[in-house]
Amino acid sequence: MRNENPEMRMGILFVVSAPSGAGKTTLCREMSRLIHNLKYTISYTTRTPRPGEVNRKDYTFVTLKEFKDMIEKGEFAEWAEVHGHLYGTPIKELENLRKEYDVILDIDIQGANQIKRRYREGVYIFILPPSMEILEDRLKKRMANSEIEIKDRLMKAREEISEYKEYEYIIVNNDFAEALSELKSIILS
Which residues of the shown chain bind ligand 5GP in the complex (CB under 6 A)?
A: 20, 43, 47, 78, 80, 82-83, 87-89, 106-108, 110-111
Q: Which residue is nearest to ligand 5GP (CB)?
A: 111
Q: How far is the CB of 167 from ligand 5GP (least distance, A)?
A: 13
Q: Which is nearer to ligand 5GP, 34 or 62 (CB)?
A: 62
**Minimum distance, C-beta of residue 184 to ligand 5GP, in the bound complex (Å):** 19
CA dihedral (110, 93, 18, 125) positive or negative: positive
CB of 61 to ligand 5GP, least distance (A): 11
**Residue 189: CB minimum distance to ligand 5GP, A:** 23
- Nearer to ligand 5GP by Cβ, of 162 and 189: the residue is 162
The residues, ordered by sequence, that sit 6+ positions from 81 with a Cβ below 8 Å of its Cβ are 87, 110
Cβ-proximal residues to 16 (8 Å cutoff; 6+ apart), any chain: 24, 27, 28, 104, 105, 106, 107, 125, 126, 127, 183
Closest CB to ligand 5GP among 7 and 143? 143
Backbone angles phi, psi at 80, to 5 degrees: -160, 160
Smaller CB distance to ligand 5GP: residue 88 or 129?
88
CA distance 28 to 173: 12
Q: Which residues pair with 17 in a beta bridge?
A: 126
Q: Which is nearer to ligand 5GP, 102 or 106 (CB)?
A: 106
| Nearest-angstrom CA–CA distance, 58 and 52 | 9
Specify the DSSP class assigned to residue 2: B
Minimum CB–partner distance for residue 178 and ligand 5GP (Å): 21
